[in-house]
């Protein structure tokens, strides 16, 4: 059974979004992420505690604008595309960047 991690998009008084993470199995668990890179790192750490068996439940506060939600989505898509490109690169290229011609 997987653990649910709540990811809530919030906005600060200056209008900048951030993501609050909560592990639903731990009462005092809360992490603040100011960007997608930080979010990905913290989700990976939280997931490792449960052997990768987690589900992410997204929500947003009422004062978060659609534009902010869209920005988070776009940054998530960009991050995921970058990760997929790096994974493909590691199987087709050696660490120094030269092509890997071995099967």
Task: Report pLDDT digits (tens) over 83-99.
Answer: 888 776 656 666 666 66
At a CB cut-off of 8 Å and minimum separation 6, what does 65 contact? 11
Residue 78: CA atoms inside 13 Å, Cβ hemisphere, count? 9
pTM: 0.79
Q: What's residue 30's pLDDT?
A: 92
Q: What's residue 83's pLDDT?
A: 86
- d(C-alpha 96, C-alpha 103), whole Å: 18
26: how many CB neighbours lie within 10 A of its CB? 11
Q: Given its phi and psi angles, is residue 52 left (phi above 0), alpha (psi -120 to 50 degrees) or beta?
A: left
Q: What's residue 93's pLDDT?
A: 62
Query: What is residue 79's DSSP assignment?
Result: H
Task: Report pLDDT digits (tens) over 13-45.
Answer: 999 999 999 999 888 889 999 999 999 999 999
Task: Report pLDDT digits (tens) over 58-76.
Answer: 999 999 999 999 999 999 9
């Amino acid at each position: 059974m997987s653990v649910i991690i709540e990811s809530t998009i919030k906005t600060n008084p200056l209008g900048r979004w951030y993501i609050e993470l909560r592990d639903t199995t731990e009462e005092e668990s809360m992490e603040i992420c100011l960007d997608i890179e930080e979010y990905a790192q913290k989700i990976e750490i939280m997931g490792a505690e449960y052997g990768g068996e987690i589900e992410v439940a997204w929500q947003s506060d009422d004062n978060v604008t659609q534009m902010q939600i869209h920005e988070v989505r776009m940054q998530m898509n960009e991050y995921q595309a970058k990760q997929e490109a790096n994974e493909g690169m590691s199987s087709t290229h050696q660490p120094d960047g030269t092509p890997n011609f071995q099967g």
